Amino acid sequence: MSPIVLWVGGLMLAAAALLIVVRIERGPSMLDRTIGLDMLVSVVVAALALWSGATGRTDLVNVLVVLTLVGFVGSVTLARFVAVEPEDEGRILTPEEVRAHDDRMRAAIAKESKRRVGGREDAMRRAYPEDEDPR
Amino acid sequence: MSPLEWLASVCFILGCSLNLIAAIGALRFPDLLARMHAATKPQVLGLILTMAGLAASLGSSQLTWKLLIVVLFQFMTAPVSAHMVGRSGYRTGKVRDEDLVVDELTEDLRRVQQADTQPPTS
Amino acid sequence: MAERVRFWNRWPMVLWLAGVWVLLWGDVTVANVLAGLVLGCLLVMAMPMPKAGFEGRPWLPGIVNLVVRFLGDVVMASVQIAKKALSPGRPPRGAVIRVQLRSQSDLFLTVTAQLCSLVPGSIVVEAHRLAGLLYIHVFDVSDSGGIDGAREHSLEIEKRVLYAFATDAAIEAAGLPPRKRLLRRRRSTEVTS
C-alpha cells in the first residue's frame, strides 16, 4: 500500500479524533460523551486497520477482535447507570467554580464537625441535598 | 499497483472519510439522538470498508475469516449500546419534544399513565 | 424465569462457540476443532442460558435477499446522513414512530430491532416484548418518505427476516403470502419484464 493512502487516511482519522474530543469536552450530557467515546473506539479500530495494512503486522488483527467485542461494555454500563442528572451537572466547571465548590464543602464539614464528631458524611449530605438519588 | 492494492486503498480512504464525516456530524448535530445516528455510520459501513481494505491488503484467507468475525461481533454489539444509550437518553428527558415531528412513544406513555391513575369506569 | 434447556439440546450453541474458536485461530485443524468443542461444552455447562425458543426454517433465497438488501440499505442511509452532516443549514427534524410488528416471536423481534438499529438513520428507542411494538427514532422524516414510509420500511425489514428464518406457519400467521407463491411471482415478472 502506498504511503499516500496511509498519510491521507491517518490525517482524516486524526481530524476525526480531534473533533470527537471536542464533542466529548462539550457534552452537554454524560450520554453525549458516551457516544463520543464509542466513536473514538471506531476511530481507533480504523487506525489500527490502516496501520496493520500499511506495515503488514498481522498481530494487530487480534486487537481488532477484542476491541469490537468489548467496545460496547463501557457505553452500556454508563447508559444503564445514568440517572436523572440536573441540567447544570454535565458541565466541566471553571477553576473559580471548583474553588467555590471546595470552599463550600470545607465550610460545611468544619461547621458540622464542630457540632458533633464524625459527622462528615452527614455534612456532605446536608450541603448537597441534590446529590441524593431522586428515585 | 495491483488491482487488489487499488481496492484496498479505495476501501481504506472511504472508511476513513466516513469516520471523519461522522465526527463532523457528531459535532454539528443539535441533539442526542441525531448524534447517535451520526455515530452508527462509521461503526457499520466504515468498519465493513476498513475491514475489506485490510483483508485486501493482507491477502491471506486465514485473516479474512478473522476480519469477518470482527464485523460480526460489531454487528451484534453495536445495536446493544445504541439502544441502551438511546433509551436512557429518552427516559432521562434528553430528547426535546420540539425537535420531533411526531412522538408516539410519549403519547403512548401518557395514555398508559392515565389508565393507571384512573380506575376503569365500567 | 424461562425454563432451562437440557444439556443435550444445546448443541447448536456448542457448534457456534466451536466455530468462533476455529475462526479465531484461523485454520481448521483437528486440535482446534476438538479444543473448540470441549470449550463450548464447558461454557454451555458453566453458563446455562434461558431458552430463546427458535422455531424456524432457514431459507437460503430469503437469507440472501435479507443480507443484500440490508447492505444496500446501509450504504444508502450512510450516504444520506453524510450529506446531511456536510450540508450547511439546520439539520432535519426527526420523529419517534410506533411500529406494530406482525410476528409474535421474541427472536424475530430481536433480529428486526437489531437490523433497524444497524441501519444508520433509525434507532430503536424502546421495545415492548409482549405487545410486539418497536418505538423507532427516525433521523430524517422527509428522506424516509414520511412517517408512514419509515413505518413501512421497518415492516419491510421484518418481512425479510420472516421470509429468511420463520416457519411457513409463522409467515401465514403474520398475514404474508407463502414463500412458494413469492418465488413464482418473482420468476413470472422476470420472464415478462
pLDDT truncated to tens, each residue of chain B (122 aa)? Answer: 688 888 889 999 999 999 999 999 888 888 888 888 888 888 889 999 999 999 888 877 778 888 888 888 888 888 888 888 888 887 777 777 666 777 777 777 777 667 666 555 44
Taking only the tens place, the pLDDT of each residue in C43-73 is 888 877 666 666 677 788 888 888 999 999 8
Q: Does C189 fall in a domain? A: no
Q: Which residues of A touch B35 (CB under 8 A)?
A: 23, 32, 35
pLDDT, position C190: 47
Specify the domain boundaries for CATH 1.10.287 within chain A: 3-81
Number of domains making up chain B: 1
Number of domains making up chain C: 2
What letter does residue C167 receive in the DSSP assignment? -
Any A CB within 8 A of B88 CB:
yes
Instruction: Write down the mean pLDDT value for chain A.
Output: 77
User: Under an 8 A CB cutoff, do B101 and C117 touch?
Assistant: no
- The answer on C66 and C21 residing in a single domain is no
- Which residue type occupies B27? L
pLDDT at A11 over 90: yes
Per CATH, the number for A3-81 is 1.10.287
Write out the residue range of the structural domain in which residue B17 sits: 3-117
**A5 close to B56: Cβ distance less than 8 angstroms:** no
**How far from each other are the two terminal CA atoms of chain B, in whole angstroms?**
79
pLDDT, position A17: 94
Closest CA to C124 of C80, C158, C166, C174: C158
ipTM above 0.90, yes or no: no
**pLDDT category of residue A46 using cuts at 50, 70 and 90:** very high
- The answer on C77 and C22 residing in a single domain is no
Write out the residue range of the structural domain in which residue C29 sits: 7-46
pLDDT at C5 over 70: no
Q: What is the mean pLDDT of residues A5-10?
A: 90
- The answer on C67 and C42 residing in a single domain is no
User: Under an 8 A CB cutoff, do C98 and B105 touch?
Assistant: yes
Q: Is the peptide bond before A28 cis (omega within 30 degrees of 0)?
A: yes
Q: Does B79 fall in a domain? A: yes
- The answer on C114 and C78 residing in a single domain is yes
User: Under an 8 A CB cutoff, do B22 and C85 touch?
Assistant: yes
Q: Does C183 fall in a domain? A: no
Pairing type for strands C133-138 and B100-103 reads unpaired
Q: Does B122 fall in a domain? A: no
Q: Does C26 fall in a domain? A: yes
Q: What is the mean pLDDT of residues C104-118?
A: 85
- The answer on C112 and C69 residing in a single domain is yes
- The answer on C170 and C131 residing in a single domain is yes
Rounded to whole angstroms, the Cα distance separating C76 from C145 reads: 14
User: Under an 8 A CB cutoff, do A5 and B13 touch?
Assistant: yes
Residues 55-74 of chain B whose Cβ lies under 8 A from any Cβ of chain A? 57-58, 60, 63, 66-67, 69-71, 73-74
Residue with cell 439440546: C9
- The answer on C139 and C171 residing in a single domain is yes
- The answer on C105 and C32 residing in a single domain is no
User: Under an 8 A CB cutoff, do C23 and B66 touch?
Assistant: yes
Residues 61-100 of chain A whose Cβ lies under 8 A from any Cβ of chain B? 61, 64-65, 68-69, 71-72, 75-76, 78-80, 82-85
C37 CB-near residues (< 8 Å, 6+ apart) = C14, C18
Interface with chain C: mutation pick from B28, B31, B36, B40, highest number of C CBs within 10 Å: B40
- Count the neighbouring beta carbons within 10 Å of the beta carbon of residue B108: 17
pLDDT at A128 over 60: no
**A50 close to B16: Cβ distance less than 8 angstroms:** yes
